[in-house]
């Protein structure tokens, strides 16, 4: 048999990078709304906490996916926008959305069939 | 300004489905190695625990991504293989791997630049 592919699996790095929880909605919002301040971003991704949003935005800035601009005004103003590198993910997201539109109904049907089969087994086991 | 897209973000469902931790390596292994028994799958994804592998395999079966075949022998034999629905993800994975090959070096460069800038700031702050 072949060698373990666990470490070599070429999907892992991109999954860890792109699909950390919350990174996709943040990039999605920035792609569709342009440059935003932190509070605007927060309003557009409301179920994320400010603490986690701060962490994720910093991570995405470090990864080169978003650009943070600091305006030395009073009070200071900070804005975020998607970078050219971040924008290269847009076709990847489109591929995912396309898959989703084509196949999520099949997933829902598979779940219903699985759950129904389990219920039937349980009913049978109870006599 | 536009409405919050949090719930509507069309990437979320596919991310939750496909990129739950560990689902990609399991599908990847099954796509490349065909039908496997649990222990073989475990050997090919060695850093996953048997407990988590059991959970993920069940989830993928329920989602219709893999097919479980039970052979009523003594001892019983159970095998897993990727389904036709699961196989529709292969081009999606290829897109991700393609993006990764093209852009991960830029991500690594962005991280080095970010870390270097932070070190410089800290050194400056210390005088």
Q: What is the pLDDT of residues A81-121, one digit of tens each?
A: 999 999 998 888 888 888 888 898 899 999 999 999 999 88
Q: What is the pLDDT of residues B41-94, one digit of tens each?
A: 999 888 889 999 999 999 999 999 999 999 999 999 999 999 999 999 888 888
**Dihedral, CA atoms, B40, B46, B50, B56, nearest 10 degrees?**
-90
- Reported ipTM: the value is 0.76
Residues of B in contact with A2 (CB under 8 A): 32-33, 44
**Cα angle A25-B66-A123, degrees, rounded to a multiple of 5:** 105
- Best B103, B105, B117, B121 member to test A by mutation, with max A CBs in 10 Å, is B103
Q: What is the pLDDT of residues B10-47, one digit of tens each?
A: 666 666 666 666 788 888 889 989 999 999 999 988 88
Per the CB < 8 A criterion, the answer to whether A65 and B106 are in contact is no
Asked if pLDDT for residue B1 goes beyond 50, the answer is no
Per the CB < 8 A criterion, the answer to whether B90 and B31 are in contact is yes
Residue of A29, A111, A92 lying closest to B101 (CA atoms): A92
- The residue-averaged pLDDT of A41-52 equals 88
Question: Cβ B5–A85 below 8 Å, yes or no?
Answer: no
Question: Cβ B13–A106 below 8 Å, yes or no?
Answer: no
Residue of B17, B109, B110 lying closest to A103 (CA atoms): B17
Task: Identify any residues that bridge with A53 across adjacent strands, giving them in sequence order.
Answer: none
> How many A/B residue pairs have CB atoms within 8 Å?
164
CATH code for the domain defined by A1-83: 1.10.10.10
Q: What is the pTM of this model?
A: 0.75
Nearest to A104 among B13, B99, B104 (CB): B13
Q: What is the pLDDT of residues A54-71, one digit of tens each?
A: 999 999 999 999 999 999
In this prediction, residue B101 carries a pLDDT of: 84
Domain ranges for chain A? 1-83, 89-127
Dist. CA B93–CA B98, nearest whole Å: 8
- Best A13, A99, A119 member to test B by mutation, with max B CBs in 10 Å, is A99
What is the Cβ-side half-sphere exposure of residue A68, based on CA atoms within 13 angstroms?
18
Residues of A in contact with B19 (CB under 8 A): 15, 19
In this prediction, residue A6 carries a pLDDT of: 45
From the options 1.10.10.10, 3.40.228.10, 3.40.50.2000, 2.130.10.10, give the CATH code of B1-85. Answer: 1.10.10.10
Chain A residue with Cα closest to B3:
A44
For a pLDDT cut of 70, what percent of chain B falls above it?
A: 83
Mean pLDDT lowest among A3-12, A16-25, B48-57, B88-97: A3-12
Distance from CA of A32 to the nearest CA of B (A): 10
């Amino acid at each position: 048999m072949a060698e373990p592919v666990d470490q070599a699996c070429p999907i892992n790095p991109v999954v860890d990078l792109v699909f950390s929880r919350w990174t996709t909605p943040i990039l999605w919002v920035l792609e569709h709304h342009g440059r935003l301040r932190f509070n605007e971003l927060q309003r557009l991704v409301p179920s994320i906490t400010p603490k986690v949003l701060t962490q994720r935005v910093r991570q995405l800035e470090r990864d080169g996916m978003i650009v943070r601009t600091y305006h030395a005004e009073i009070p200071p103003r900070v804005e975020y926008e998607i970078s050219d590198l971040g924008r290269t993910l847009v076709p990847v997201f489109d591929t995912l959305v396309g898959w989703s539109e084509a196949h999520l109904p099949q997933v829902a049907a598979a779940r219903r069939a699985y759950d129904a089969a389990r219920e039937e087994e349980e009913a049978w086991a109870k006599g």
